[in-house]
Structure formats: structure tokens, C-alpha cells
Amino acid sequence: MSQGWTGPIAWVGRSALDTAAVFGRFGNFTGALGRALPDARTWGRLVIVQMARLGVESLPIALFIAAFTGIVLSLQASYTLTGAIPTYFVGTLVGKTIILELGPVLTGLALAGRVGANIAAEIGTMRVTEQIDALETLAYDPMSYLAVPRVLAGLVMFPVVVVFADAIGILGGWITAINLLDLSTPEFVRGLRIFFDPFDVRFSLIKAASFGLAVTSIGCFYGFMTTGGAQAVGRATTQAVVVSAMLILVLDAFWAVVLL
């Protein structure tokens, strides 16, 4: 039977209900995550393992992105700052942009792909192969065993990775400035320091921690919600990456509005 003009309205209604259901399930998930936190006996030693997997193993990709971002920023700053503006502002632009924005955001987006996808695929596979049920039957709370270590590791390690990314980004900008631009090290450093505010680093770390929380909890959420088979794992992985990336951009704007 044709739905006629009511079709689009029904679609909007269904979409709204589906979205509300996802929010509801995510609320339940975060509640369960909170209840699992006191169970440190289960997640204690696993946090260290996850810190290595999510943080240390993510360093190469994060540093690679940061280094090239620094190079490009340095060249674009030099291209933009012509005429009356002193060239040492290249250092200012590279430093400010890397620390305030590109360091945390590009690292966050890269880790949404690497870490978020990894978590959703791993937990999703465990869900569809009944490994999560097996954990339950062996008296393990899956939230304590799987979700809490990953979320805590993300919360701690994303800022650590971002600190390294910020440093390497600025280093890339500096090497470019002294080799490809007519800029000396003292000039670059002068530009870097002239508007430097320690708050910038705190801002970068707060953003990174919130991105870590978002990416890991979204990855865990979609992993736990997986039902079906291999196709469902693939879908959960994609959803985790897309939603994490969107959430990073929303959080980026949120912190800019709230803290700057």
C-alpha cells in the first residue's frame, strides 16, 4: 500500500525513535561502565596492557601526521605572512595552530580510525562469537574486563600521544623553517614564545582527554551492541569510526566555546 504524503513523516518519526533508542542504550552503557569502575581487581592490570596497545602503538601514526602537518603549516605560514608581518610569526602560527587545534584534532581523528575501529571490531567479534557470554559465565563482568581498561587507557594515553604529536609537529615546522625558509632558529623560537601561554597546553590536553574518552567509549559501545555475524562487526566498526570522528569535531567546538 502506498504511504503517500505520510511516508516522509513516518521516516522522520522512525529516525527520531531510532536515534532516541541509541541515546537510551548509550545511557545504559555509560551507567554500566560507571558501576564497573569499583571492580579494580578485574581491570587493574589490564589498563597497562591497553595503555600500550592504544597509546604506545598509536605513536607512529600520530607522529607521522604531526610531522607533516608541521611542515605544511610552516610553509603555508610563510606564504601567508608576507609584507609587513615579521617572518618570525611563522613560529607563532605553527606553535599556536599545532597546540590549540591540529595536534589534538588530527591525532584524535587518526586514533578514531585506528583505536576506535580496533576496539569496536574486537569487542564486536567477541560478542558474535559468544566470548562475552563466556566471560559472564566465568563470573567476569564484561564491562570491567573489556570496557573500563580501554576507556581509562584512552583517557590517559590520548593526552600523552598528543603531547608527543604537538612536539613533533612543532619540530617539523622548525626544521622546515630553518631549511626551506629564510628563518633562523632564534627567530622561529621567538615567534613560538611570543604569544605562548601555558594554558594552551592545558587546553590541548583537556581536548585530547575528552577525545580519548569519546573514541574508546564509542568503540566499546558499538562493539557491545553488535548482533549477528561478520557483516554486523563491519557495520559496528564503521559506525564507531564515523560517530567518534563526528564527536571529536563537536567536542572541539565545545571546548573552544567553553574555554577560549
C-alpha to C-alpha distance for 108 and 100, rounded to whole angstroms: 13
Name residues contacting another protein, limited to 50-89 (CB under 8 A): none
Give min distance, CB of 151 to another protein, in A: 19
Cβ 157 to another protein shortest distance, Å: 20
d(CA 67, CA 52): 22
Closer Cβ to another protein, 126 or 152, answer by number: 126
The nearer residue to another protein, 8 or 34, going by C-beta atoms, is 34
Nearer of residues 36 and 155 to another protein, judged by Cβ: 36
Per-residue x/- track, 125-144, another protein (CB under 8 A) = xx--xxx-xxxxxxxxx---
User: Residue 165 Cβ, how far from another protein at the closest point, in Å?
Assistant: 28
* Count of residues engaged in binding another protein, rule: CB under 8 A: 14
Tell me whether residue 82 or residue 137 sits nearer to another protein (CB atom): 137
Contact 162, 101 (CB under 8 A): no
Nearest to 69, CA basis, from 138, 153, 169? 169
- In the bound complex, what is the minimum distance in angstroms from residue 45's beta carbon to another protein? 11
x/- mask, another protein, residues 140-179, rule CB under 8 A, reads: xx--------------------------------------
Residue 250 lies near another protein (rule: CB under 8 A):
no
Euclidean distance between CA atoms 124 and 147, whole angstroms: 12
26 class by beta-carbon count within 10 Å (0-12 exposed, 13-18 middle, 19+ buried): middle
CB of 118 to another protein, least distance (A): 12
Per CB under 8 A, residues contacting another protein are: 125-126, 129-131, 133-141
